Amino acid sequence: IRASEFFLYSKKDRDAVYKCLERGYEFPEVTSWIRASKEDFKLVKEIGMKETGILVSCSDYHIFLKLKMTRRQAMDHYLSVVRDCLEEGISVRCHLEDITRADIYGYVVPFCHELMRLSEEYKIPIKVRACDTMGYGVNFPGAVIPRSVQGIIYALNKHAGVPHEMLEWHGHNDFYKAVTNSTTAWLYGCSGINTSLFGIGERTGNTPLEAMVFEYAQLKGHLNGMDTTVITELAEYYEKEIGYQIPPRTPFVGKNFNVTRAGVHADGLLKNEEIYNIFDTEKFLNRPVLCAVSNTSGLAGIAHWINTYYRLPEEMHVDKHCELVEEVKKWVDEEYLGGRVTVLTDNELVTVIDKNCKKLGYTLERGCFKKNE
């Protein structure tokens, strides 16, 4: 994570900036976000930010309908604010809002040419962020600009002269393409990807940070020292401390992301976890693969649930032929014959298992399963 980004408008926003700056970390860099406004720029100066992002909306929708300007007026206005920042030695990051509806060669490329001239004049690098504000970007072969992600990155680099290391992609998930488009931007020469934890963001959200961590691993073949188990800790913090409810089927962090319900899948997991688990989720996320028990789980699903819930070592694993498993299965079947439609809870299963362990003469606890003498 190279940088973080903060608003500066409220005291709460500014306090958050000060708290982060007090930590003294090299990374993530603490940067700000402002509109292309002289008043907003005053806040950047007051706080002493070293880098700020500036909103430079680039589609005609925004220029004509929101800002009520012509293209020339908008460009001159943006460049004047950028120059003010550079005069103070502040690095600039220009956010090309709504680029997937913009005139790439009629406006965006000429504007970025001017940015690169200013960068050369002041000897201060200027970053350019391509913002797919409405999620219209696609990576289809043959797609044309402004919707082609690879076409946008190519134009900014080859025709506007923006160095690869100064390019960022900012995606939205309105058409389920935030991750795919972000990865495409990487592959076509964009160095930075904007993300948020768990994809939290406007409307359908932004590109999830955790998704790009695993995209990075797949592209590079390694994690470059990242400890991915922290992702699970972050999810738990958000739910327990902040009260944010992560949708249960969210990849990598939802409570059901590695939970199987089908009996045939559970049977495969019993034979070898790699058959039905996406990767070693216990190693990389501290989340062992689980089986939810329902009317479709079968004996194999119940056996796998017992093995994982009680963290039994392999030599103590129960299988679908174990009498304890068979007794629990009878109870499960009775529940659903009685009209139940919901998945069984952990507490319900523990209660039934304890009852049957006493009846059959077993001891079952975390890390231990044995027949009583």
Query: Is 277 a member of any domain?
Result: yes
Query: Is 208 a member of any domain?
Result: no
Exposed e or buried b per residue across 346-362, where buried means at least 16 C-beta atoms within 10 angstroms of its C-beta: eeebeebbeebbeeeeb
Structure tokens that stand for 373 in this block:
């003498």
Q: Which of 156, 175, 194 is the last residue of a domain?
A: 194
Query: Is 140 a member of any domain?
Result: yes
Q: Which of 143, 165, 194 is the last residue of a domain?
A: 194
Q: Are residues 12 and 130 in the same domain?
A: yes
The whole-chain average pLDDT of the chain stands at 95
Q: Are residues 110 and 185 in the same domain?
A: yes
Query: Is 110 a member of any domain?
Result: yes
Q: Are residues 286 and 170 in the same domain?
A: no
- Residue 262 — pLDDT band, cuts 50, 70, 90? confident
Q: Is the peptide bond before 28 cis (omega within 30 degrees of 0)?
A: yes
Q: Are residues 167 and 309 in the same domain?
A: no
Query: Is 246 a member of any domain?
Result: no
* CATH code where residue 94 lies: 3.20.20.70
Q: Are residues 276 and 363 in the same domain?
A: yes
8 A C-beta contact, residue 171 and residue 177: yes
Query: Is 224 a member of any domain?
Result: no
The pLDDT score that the predictor gives to residue 308 is 87
pLDDT tens-place string over residues 297-311:
889 889 989 998 898
In the predicted model, is pLDDT for residue 266 greater than 80?
A: no
Query: Is 158 a member of any domain?
Result: yes
8 A C-beta contact, residue 212 and residue 251: no
The pLDDT score that the predictor gives to residue 324 is 96
The pLDDT score that the predictor gives to residue 139 is 98
Selected residue with higher pLDDT from 371 and 177: 177
Q: Are residues 189 and 263 in the same domain?
A: no
Give the C-alpha separation, 239 to 243, whole Å: 5
The pLDDT score that the predictor gives to residue 315 is 93
Q: Per the confidence metrics, is the pTM higher than 0.85?
A: yes
In the predicted model, is pLDDT for residue 270 greater than 80?
A: no
Which residue, among 351, 249, 266, 361, has the nearest Cα to 307 in the 3D structure? 266
The residue written with tokens 């909103």 in the block is: 55
pLDDT tens-place string over residues 179-192:
999 999 999 999 99
Orientation of helix 38-47 relative to helix 71-87, angle to 10°: 20
Question: Mean pLDDT, to the nearest integer, of 74-78?
Answer: 98
Give the C-alpha separation, 47 to 10, whole Å: 13
Structural domains of the chain, count: 2
pLDDT tens-place string over residues 313-363:
989 999 999 999 999 999 999 999 999 998 898 899 999 999 999 999 999
In the predicted model, is pLDDT for residue 71 greater than 90?
A: yes
Range of the domain at 160: 3-194
Q: Are residues 155 and 270 in the same domain?
A: no
Q: Are residues 38 and 170 in the same domain?
A: yes
Query: Is 73 a member of any domain?
Result: yes
pLDDT tens-place string over residues 77-103:
999 999 999 999 999 999 999 999 999
pLDDT tens-place string over residues 126-139:
999 999 999 999 99
Q: Which of 178, 194, 210 is the last residue of a domain?
A: 194
Looking at 22-26, 266-270, 335-339, which range is the least confident one?
266-270
Q: Are residues 168 and 19 in the same domain?
A: yes
Q: Are residues 175 and 280 in the same domain?
A: no
Q: Are residues 179 and 280 in the same domain?
A: no
Q: Are residues 15 and 161 in the same domain?
A: yes
